[in-house]
Every structure is written in structure tokens, then in C-alpha cells.
């Protein structure tokens, strides 16, 4: 069939394609896409010409864009044409979020992976696991059998994009390490990208610090996505959340900083108790008390949030040491979840000045107005610890 079409052959994969630059890969994919469109246009022209010469036939387009549906003398089975395989070269196809089998088939047809949408839909319907195909960018072959294309999409090893889990509680340093591990891009490239706050969209009120501004979620990045674009998407997510919650620009840094402490101090406690924790922070600041939050010490020395701080650590001279300084630290200490941000915005008015999670397994947390009450609650936490030794 190839002798029907003109244009450069782009289905063969160069032996050194993996060594091409990102720009060269984009150019190669674009050339393949244009070639596939030329082949489809030529095929349409041939079929319509046959219909006109025969003096019979009509064209009906269905949801999948299959113009063979009502064409006579071609039958429906002939319309659902399929490549014999095994396929050649490589091509990348993106499966959109919520895409139907027909939509996926159309994307594959556009990339010359399958011969027709009906053939793919038939293979998709016949495979019980097809409904679990995940959105993302996949590397497939051109001119594949439709059933094999479904199998390729079900194999996550064929994904050519990157999935990055940015979790609540991650510091910027942790985020950069995770990005580098998943994408293979050096950490130094992300640090360079973050130096350009205009390109990443970091708001002025952040004061140049990304702590707290990298929104938690699972990100899907293409292999051509630059570090600047990745960081910008994370920052944009936080800005969008703050906008949705109606946080004025002047209050954003304070809200994120307090929310990050709530995030790190809360563990698995309920949203209602997180709001009470935010209330304790507000009350201690209003009374001129030091916060004395271990979470800020952990951020300062790089220890785990579930570790116990030492007297030596609590004596370190740093603005992040809330045992020595009053008020909030200069920046956030982690990426807060939306729940933690909402806890700060909805903190109730109470007289509580202390809190302790007495059972980390269940998240049971007790609040106190006085230090004596707090010490009684701490005994329950110590009993929980002793029961596990």
C-alpha cells in the first residue's frame, strides 16, 4: 500500500534516535505525524474516487471518524481494517484523562499506530483489562495490530512520560531529589531553574523561597518537559489553591508557613483536630509564647518528623528554632496539603495552648489550656510509647 503515497518515509527509527536532542525528537515526531496525515488523505481520495467511478455509494461519518460506515460496495468488516503487524519504528501517543476507547483509537490512528478506529475499538472491547489504561504518553510502533496496541497501552513499561508524586510534607530539597530520580535530570538543573523566579511564576510574597509553594499532587511530565516548566506547574498549583480559598496575596506566605507546621505536626489526625492545632499556634503567637514545635527543629537539622529532638538540637541558634524564637519561622518548612491550609483559615477560637497526639496509630489528639493538663496528656503518649518497646 505504501506505493500509493508520496513523502519521506518516517516510520523507520534511526539507530541512534535515543541520542537525539529533545528538539530533534520533537521534529521527528512532527514529521511522522504529517506523513500519517498524508497517507490518510490519500486513502480517502482513493476510496472516494472508486465510489464516484462506480456511480454508487455514500459516506457517513460515525463517532470514531470512520468514513467507511455507509460506503457501498465496501463492507463494515472491510472498513474495520487492521494492520498485520508487528509494526515498525516508534511513535509517541498521549492518552488524555478520561479518554474513551474511541478517543484513544482516534489518537492512535492520527499517529499511524492502528489502521482504523473500529479495529481498535473492537480490540479494546475484547480486552477485559482495557478499562484500566492510564492517561499518559506511551511509546508504540507504527502500523501495529490493534490488539497489540491495547497490550502496549496496558504495559506501563511503555510509558515515555514521568509520574512524580509530590506529597504533603515534602521539603523543597526532597522534591528536587524526587524529580531528579524520576526524570534523570540532574538536581543542579532544577536548582538553576528555580533561580529564575520570573520563569517559574514564584510570587513576590514568597521572598524567593519555594518552601511551601510546590503543590502536592501526582504530576505527569513529558520527556521534553523542562525543569522550569515542572517547577512552574507546581507553583501554579499552590497559587490556584490559594486563589480558590480566597487568600489575599499579602497573607499567602504566613498561611503557607503556618499550614506547613500544622502539616508536619498533625500526622494522621482529623481535619477538625488540624484546625485546633492551628488555633494553638495562633494562641501561642498572640500570647507572645514560643511555639516550641519539634517540626521546625526537624526541618532545621534534616531529621525525620517522627524522631525525638535532643536538647542539643533545640539549642541551635537559627530563626527556624521555635524553642528559642517567638513567632513563625521565616518560611514554610514543607509542602502543606489543602486540608492543612484550610485548617489555618478555619482555626476556631479556643483557649488551648498545648496539644499532643496520644495515640499516633489512631490519630487521637488531646488539647490543653494549661501546662499541668498538658503534662497529664503527655503521660498517655508515653504509655503508648512504652507499650511498643
Tens digits of residue pLDDT in 197-207: 999 999 999 99
Average pLDDT across the chain, whole number: 84
Question: Whole-prediction pTM value?
Answer: 0.69
pLDDT surpasses 90 at 116 = yes
The pLDDT tens digits of the residues spanning 135-145 come to 888 999 999 99
Q: For 229-286, write each residue's pLDDT tens digit.
A: 999 999 999 999 999 999 999 999 999 999 999 999 987 899 999 999 999 999 999 9
Judge whether 289 and 354 are in contact, CB under 8 Å: no
User: What radius of gyration do the chain's Cα atoms show?
Assistant: 29
Output phi, psi for 218, to 5 deg.
-90, 125
pLDDT at 48 over 50: no
- Asked whether residue 168 carries a pLDDT value surpassing 50, the answer given is yes
CATH architecture label of 88-159: 2-Layer Sandwich (3.30)
pLDDT, position 34:
61
- Higher pLDDT, residue 288 or 10: 288
- For residue 56, pLDDT over 80 is answered with no
- Angle CA 135–139–143, to nearest 5: 110
Name beta bridge partners: 217.
Answer: 166
Question: Domains of the chain: which residue ranges?
Answer: 88-159, 162-245, 268-330+343-387
For 78-94, the pLDDT digits (tens) are: 457 999 988 999 898 98
Structure confidence by residue, pLDDT tens digits, 300-315: 999 887 778 999 999 9
Amino acid at each position: 500500500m505504501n506505493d500509493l503515497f508520496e513523502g519521506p518515509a518516517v516510520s523507520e527509527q534511526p539507530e541512534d534516535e535515543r541520542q537525539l536532542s529533545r528538539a530533534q525528537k520533537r521534529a521527528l515526531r512532527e514529521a511522522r505525524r504529517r506523513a500519517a496525515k498524508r497517507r490518510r488523505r490519500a486513502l480517502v481520495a482513493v476510496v472516494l474516487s472508486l465510489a464516484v467511478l462506480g456511480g454508487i455509494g455514500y459516506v457517513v461519518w460515525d463517532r470514531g471518524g470512520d468514513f467507511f460506515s455507509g460506503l457501498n460496495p465496501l463492507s463494515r468488516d472491510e472498513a474495520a481494517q487492521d494492520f498485520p503487524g508487528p509494526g515498525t519504528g516508534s511513535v509517541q501517543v498521549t492518552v488524555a484523562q478520561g479518554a474513551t476507547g474511541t478517543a484513544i483509537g482516534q489518537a492512535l490512528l492520527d499517529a499511524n499506530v492502528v489502521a482504523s478506529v473500529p479495529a481498535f475499538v473492537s480490540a479494546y472491547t475484547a480486552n477485559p483489562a482495557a478499562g484500566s489504561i492510564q492517561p499518559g504518553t506511551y511509546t508504540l510502533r507504527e502500523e501495529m495490530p490493534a490488539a497489540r496496541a491495547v497490550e502496549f497501552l496496558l504495559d506501563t513499561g511503555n510509558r515515555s512520560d514521568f509520574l512524580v508524586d509530590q506529597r504533603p510534607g515534602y521539603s523543597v530539597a526532597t522534591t528536587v531529589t524526587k524529580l531528579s530520580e524520576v526524570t534523570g535530570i540532574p538536581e543542579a538543573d532544577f536548582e538553576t531553574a528555580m533561580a529564575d523566579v520570573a520563569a517559574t511564576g514564584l510570587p513576590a510574597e514568597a521572598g524567593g523561597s519555594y518552601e511551601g509553594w510546590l503543590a502536592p499532587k501526582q504530576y505527569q511530565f513529558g520527556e521534553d518537559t523542562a525543569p522550569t516548566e515542572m517547577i512552574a506547574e507546581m507553583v501554579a498549583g499552590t497559587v490556584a489553591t490559594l486563589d480558590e480559598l480566597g487568600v489575599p496575596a499579602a497573607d499567602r506566605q504566613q498561611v503557607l508557613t503556618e499550614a506547613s507546621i500544622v502539616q508536619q505536626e498533625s500526622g494522621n489526625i482529623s481535619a477538625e483536630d488540624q484546625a485546633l492545632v492551628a488555633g494553638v499556634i495562633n494562641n501561642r503567637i498572640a500570647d507572645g509564647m514560643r511555639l516550641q514545635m519539634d517540626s521546625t527543629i526537624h526541618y532545621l537539622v534534616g531529621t525525620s518528623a517522627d524522631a525525638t529532638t535532643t536538647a542539643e538540637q533545640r539549642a541551635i541558634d537559627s530563626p527556624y528554632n521555635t524553642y528559642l524564637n517567638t513567632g513563625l519561622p521565616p518560611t514554610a518548612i514543607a509542602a502543606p496539603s489543602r486540608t492543612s491550609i484550610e485548617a489555618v483559615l478555619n482555626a476556631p477560637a479556643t483557649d488551648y495552648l498545648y496539644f499532643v497526639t496520644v495515640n499516633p496509630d489512631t490519630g487521637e489528639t488531646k488539647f490543653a489550656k494549661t501546662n499541668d493538663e498538658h503534662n497529664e496528656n503527655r503521660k498517655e503518649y508515653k504509655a503508648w510509647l512504652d507499650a511498643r518497646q
